[in-house]
Amino acid sequence: MGQTGGFLKYDREPNPGQTPEERIQHWNEFHDRLPDAERRCQGARCMECGVPYCQSGMVLNGMVSGCPLHNLIPEWNDLVYTGNFDLAMRRLHKTNNFPEFTGRVCPALCEAACTCGLNGQPVTIRENELGIIEDAFRDGLVQPRVPGHRTGKRVAVVGSGPAGLACADQLNQRGHSVTVFERDDRPGGLLMYGIPNMKLEKQIVDRRIQLMTAEGVTFVTNTNVGKDKKAAELLREFDAVVLCCGAKHPRDLQVANRDAHGVYFAVDFLSANTKSLLDSNFADHKYVDPKGKRVVIVGGGDTGNDCVGTCIRHGCKSVVQLEMMPKAPETRAENNPWPEWPRVCKTDYGQEEAISVFGADPRMYQTTVTELVTDKNKKLTAVKIVSLGADRKPVPGSEQTLDCDLLIIAAGFLGCQAYVPDAFGVAQTPRTVVQTEAGHYATNVPRVFTAGDMHRGQSLVVWAIAEGRGAAREVDAFLMGYTNL
């Protein structure tokens, strides 16, 4: 696989990107792709490992190492190197329904496990993946695959995020008739409204939806199953139902004056922002405008970072991102060896932009909010914060007050919203996700299955795709008595 000694001959070269000063002027993606000749050099760096950890997707020390989809990474890296992009695309699609999504938003678990990264820089696996699929779309290699035979079985998929789309795609290719129900006005779920445009432009999502529609999948939008459409109707109309509604129950702050005006959950903030951008380029003003405001974001993860980048593009006056955990080391600690996922400090695009605009990293570590301060009209004016010790308890005397006009809560999620599982009568775990047997997707209600964040809790797009594929196998076996998925 790859060129013998290629990892010694060629340096890692990532896709070129715009500077923070350039990219904050717009809402588009800000990375270009390498020319094919240079991409082939990056494929040549693959080392022909005896054990390719990059595609293992195994748990090491409580963290997944390698790709959960078990992508055939050394195979298509070699095909990139040899210039066989058509076959590379087909090998990539064999395990990943939507490489154009993971190639943009996945944190690249594969690269963290790349053998080339043990004593140097890992192969640009994620960018090779993105190059394969985008070149395939460009060259007309991705065409609708209409099933030649229909089984007569009908399946309803509730939710059109990455899990629902992957499940629908697999079942449709098997020959079942699949209808996807989405409560929003556009299909895509998390991909459409949960991820900002500068990370995933929405015409990319639309392109895949159009392809799936041409292949026979039916999409029904503006339909909230459990409210607009009853569970009994779906069970009467379809042979199986798959619940893929995500984990959109946000974790709240339990602090004084929580009802202050100017406090928003990150999921609502980002969704409204993207919808307004798509509907009217913000002309409708149906979004929370951070322009000129002093913003505090609670949560140091990817969603918090997306909020930082969004606020800066709108022209906020300042932005602070609070993180309860200590700052991770810059390099791997001795107790975090390769090929484990590296627990190191990551400065993402939003933080880079904040450093560029305001001259400092926006993150404050080991810090939490204790109280919201308001004026007489309950309008937010400040937040009181405190530092946390190693035991995560408040440090006496460390209290501070930060001026704040807009507080965004990006503290994660507590599981799925209860009304859908309640409508179907499916059991939930204490973590408020839908309960199944370990390693399975069937719920306690006959003919009802589940997948994605609704099943495993808040996770990554790549895991959602893996869950959707797994659920599709189980549904297919239930409908047909066997499965070849």
pLDDT at residue number 145: 96
In angstroms, rounded to a whole number, what is the distance separating the alpha carbons of residues 116 and 82?
19
Contacts for 472 with CB less than 8 Å, ≥ 6 apart: 166, 167, 170, 171, 174, 242, 485
> What is the per-residue pLDDT across 297-331, written as a single tens digit (0 to 9) for each?
999 999 999 999 999 999 999 999 999 999 999 99
Give φ, ψ of 172 to 5 degrees: -65, -40
pLDDT at residue number 3: 81
Bridge partners of 219, per DSSP, are: 180
pLDDT at residue number 273: 98
Q: DSSP state, 432?
A: S
In angstroms, rounded to a whole number, what is the distance separating the alpha carbons of residues 317 and 150?
57
Look up residue 190 and give its two tokens: 């998390």
In angstroms, rounded to a whole number, what is the distance separating the alpha carbons of residues 466 and 244?
12
Return the residue matching tokens 């990370």.
199
Measure Cα distances from 82 to 49, 75, 93, 182, 246 in Å: 18, 11, 18, 42, 40
What does the pLDDT average to over 334-360?
A: 96
> What is the per-residue pLDDT across 360-401, written as a single tens digit (0 to 9) for each?
999 999 999 999 999 999 999 999 999 999 999 999 999 999
In angstroms, rounded to a whole number, what is the distance separating the alpha carbons of residues 293 and 279?
24
pLDDT at residue number 153: 98
Q: Which of 66, 82, 172 is nearest to 132 (CA)?
A: 82
Helix (H) or strand (E) holding 264: strand 263-265
Q: Give the N- to C-terminal CA distance of the chain in Å, as an integer.
A: 27
Cβ atoms of 445 and 433 closer than 8 Å: no
Measure Cα distances from 112 to 12, 116, 122, 298, 305 in Å: 14, 10, 7, 27, 21
Return the residue matching tokens 């090779």.
128
Its pTM stands at 0.96
In angstroms, rounded to a whole number, what is the distance separating the alpha carbons of residues 418 and 219?
23
Give φ, ψ of 296 to 5 degrees: -120, 130
In angstroms, rounded to a whole number, what is the distance separating the alpha carbons of residues 92 and 86?
10
User: Given a cut of 90, is residue 48 above it in pLDDT?
Assistant: no
Q: Which of 381, 354, 379, 374 is nearest to 300 (CA)?
A: 354
Q: Tell me the pLDDT band of 101, cut-offs 50, 70 and 90.
A: very high
> What is the per-residue pLDDT across 222-239, written as a single tens digit (0 to 9) for each?
999 999 999 999 999 999
In angstroms, rounded to a whole number, what is the distance separating the alpha carbons of residues 169 and 192?
17
Q: Which of 290, 250, 247 is nearest to 272 (CA)?
A: 290
Look up residue 321 and give its two tokens: 């991102």
Q: Which of 302, 250, 252 is nearest to 453 (CA)?
A: 250
> What is the per-residue pLDDT across 184-224, written as a single tens digit (0 to 9) for each?
999 999 999 999 999 999 999 999 999 999 999 999 999 99
pLDDT at residue number 1: 62
Cα 123–chain centre separation: 22
> What are the DSSP calls for 151-210, one per residue?
-S-EEEEE--SHHHHHHHHHHHHHT-EEEEE-SSSSTTTIIIIIS-TTTS-HHHHHHHHH
Cβ atoms of 322 and 328 closer than 8 Å: no
Look up residue 477 and give its two tokens: 């076996």
Longest dimension (CA), the chain: 71
Q: Which of 403, 400, 398, 397 is nearest to 374 (CA)?
A: 403
In angstroms, rounded to a whole number, what is the distance separating the alpha carbons of residues 459 and 413?
10
In angstroms, rounded to a whole number, what is the distance separating the alpha carbons of residues 473 and 449?
11
Domains of the chain: 6-138 (1.10.1060.10), 154-248+414-480 (3.50.50.60), 263-409 (3.50.50.60)
pLDDT at residue number 4: 85
